[in-house]
Structure 1
């Protein structure tokens, strides 16, 4: 059994990586509530037996390995049967049932959490080559799954152009770019999108969060991908959190993965300011 000093060190290491596990779990499940249940089960497993935490790996890899042991043991459940309730979540589950096993997990680990192929393999229990192949398969399967209309909320012109270009290359159409809360609400209501890609802080000090919540207050509930330079500030567990969150500076793979994931689920979690 570990001594008190080791236990404190383990606790600190886990605490530092927990916000990112929770981000990953929500993206994986498409739900803050479900994702947090898996994250909580991961912590409970470590508390029950800290030997499950692989100290030969980095803290983040070790934490995600424990998570995936639980995820795999639960069968990564998909409620896609004929008796499943209709709605965005059940639609997403039906789509999930058609994916190659482990591909979506590998894609998220790579694109959202920036794990290397060898780290993904360690987490999923496969070799680095197979891990890389799983990422490639997922990118193809999910990108081909759903296309739609995307609205961008971003006040920096170069970033807005870059995001719009990436989204267009994926086969989606861009309804427009809004730089303020008021512009976003006006554009979104005039030309409702299938997905919103929103920066958190806008140049006029308005909030992309407020703009999104204004739009989501209506009948339509498009999925949302939020972008922020400070993701840990939004991953506290103290309020509703977004299921899809990209850190700045981002890379093209993160945009592609998050957009595909959000379109795939066709649902979102709201975020209060």
Structure 2
């Protein structure tokens, strides 16, 4: 592998971790999947980043318990979470673009039919919290509370027992979103999605990190897909 291709591959690894964690439902399984894909070798006919996504997609074990087939979930995550064009996502999963578009349409219909869940939002900026509430409710979910600091988040999670937590990482003077989530998960098994403007900082595999990470700003579809994967895929911290 030449130096330029190797440098591109190194830059792609954090985002492959995000994809793999969302696909498998945990940090541990996702990071192990990326390592396994790298050991297995990458397709030579794709760019380094697409080749790594493809290797992860092909190596991932299929979980037949999901309501949405694996290749459709992969396409959803690649286009909505990783922001790939449909043609690139199709190349990653090995489908013609026209077939990928049909599969995405079917997957989007399935996402919209999935039952809603109760969501606790952890966000210290009131305007941003209001925007997140509107996005979450447009996705068909019910926001049961908004916490602005770490202590409030822990107490609200304890009393409300939400089906999902949507957390900002930086709560300003009110503490740290990851610390709040770690405290919450000591008491209850609740899937969590983290929202951050700097996702690569949470994808180093150097410490306990989230499985579900959405980049700010995000689209409602990305939230809907991440919500489905979080609820169906397991815990956020492995």
Aligned: 1:254 with 2:216: no
- Tell me which residue corresponds to 1:192: 161
Residue 101 of structure 1: how far off its partner (Å): 4.9
Q: Give 1:69's match in structure 2, choosing from 49, 58, 76.
A: 58
- Tell me which residue corresponds to 1:268: 235
Give the secondary-structure state (helix, strand or coil) at the position aligned to 2:210.
coil
Aligned: 1:122 with 2:91: yes
- Tell me which residue corresponds to 2:36: 41
- Cα separation, 1, equivalents of 2:84 and 2:165: 26
- Cα separation, 2, equivalents of 1:228 and 1:241: 13
Unaligned regions of 5+ residues in structure 2, if any? none
- Tell me which residue corresponds to 2:16: 21
Cα 1:229–1:119 change in 2 (3 A) is: same
Q: Give 2:150's match in structure 1, choosing from 168, 178, 181.
A: 181
Aligned: 1:53 with 2:44: yes
Q: How do residues 95-110 of structure 1 correspond to structure 2 at under 5 angstroms? A: 96=66, 98-110=67-79
- Cα separation, 2, equivalents of 1:53 and 1:179: 47
Which gives a bigger RCO, structure 1 or 2 (Cα 8 Å, sep 6+)? Answer: 2
Aligned: 1:230 with 2:230: no
1:216-257 CA-to-partner distances (Å, cap 9, x unmatched) read: 111x21100001111111111111221111111222222222
- Cα separation, 1, equivalents of 2:174 and 2:149: 8
Cα 1:68–1:213 change in 2 (3 A) is: closer
- Cα separation, 2, equivalents of 1:101 and 1:229: 28
Q: Check conservation: 1:224, 1:262, Cα contact below 8 A.
A: yes
- Cα separation, 2, equivalents of 1:202 and 1:138: 34
Q: TM-score, normalised by structure 1?
A: 0.80
1:174-228 CA-to-partner distances (Å, cap 9, x unmatched) read: 111111112212221221111100000013251111111121111x211000011
Q: TM-score, normalised by structure 2?
A: 0.91
Q: Check conservation: 1:196, 1:222, Cα contact below 8 A.
A: yes
Residue 166 of structure 1: how far off its partner (Å): 1.9
Give the secondary-structure state (helix, strand or coil) at the position aligned to 2:146.
strand
Give the secondary-structure state (helix, strand or coil) at the position aligned to 1:102.
helix
User: What is the number of equivalent residue pairs in this alignment?
Assistant: 238
Q: Check conservation: 2:124, 2:174, Cα contact below 8 A.
A: no
Unaligned regions of 5+ residues in structure 1, if any? 79-92
Runs of 4+ in 1 over 3 A off after TM superposition: none
Q: Check conservation: 1:146, 1:264, Cα contact below 8 A.
A: no
* CA RMSD, 1 decimal: 1.9
Residue 53 of structure 1: how far off its partner (Å): 2.7
